[in-house]
Structure 1
Amino acid sequence: MIELIIQEDAVAEGPREIAEIMAAAPDEAWRRVPDEQLLLIDTPEGRIAVELSSVLGQDHVEQIKLLSRAGYYEGLSFYRVIEGFVAQGGDHTDDHPKGKARTSLEAEFEEKLPEGTVFTTLGVRDGYAAEVGFVGGMPAGRDASTGTSWLAHCTGAFAFGRNNGPDTASTEFYITLQPQRYLDRNLTVFGRVLSGMDVVQAAPRGVIDQDPETDDFSERLMIDSFRLAADLPEEERPAYEVMNTESDTFAELIEARKARPSAFFIYRPGHVDLCQMTIPTRTVEAEDN
Structure 2
Amino acid sequence: MRLARVTKDGKMGLAAKNGDAITVAYGEDVADLDTHISKGTLAEAGAAATAGETVSQGDLVFLPPLARAGKVICLGLNYADHAAEADMEVPEFPTIFARFASNLIGHEAPILKPASSDQLDFEGEMVAVIGKQAKNVSEADALSHVMGYSVFNDGSVRDYQLKTPQWTAGKNFDNTGSFGPWLVTDDELPAGGEGLKIETRLNGEVMQSAVTDLMIFNVQQTVTLLSSFLTLEPGDVLVMGTPSGIGLTRDPPVFMKPGDVVEVEIENIGLLRNPIEAE
The TM-score, its normalising length taken from structure 1, stands at: 0.25
Structure of higher CA gyration radius: 1
Higher strand share: 2
Report 1 or 2 for greater relative contact order, CA contacts < 8 Å, sequence distance ≥ 6.
1
The TM-score, its normalising length taken from structure 2, stands at: 0.26
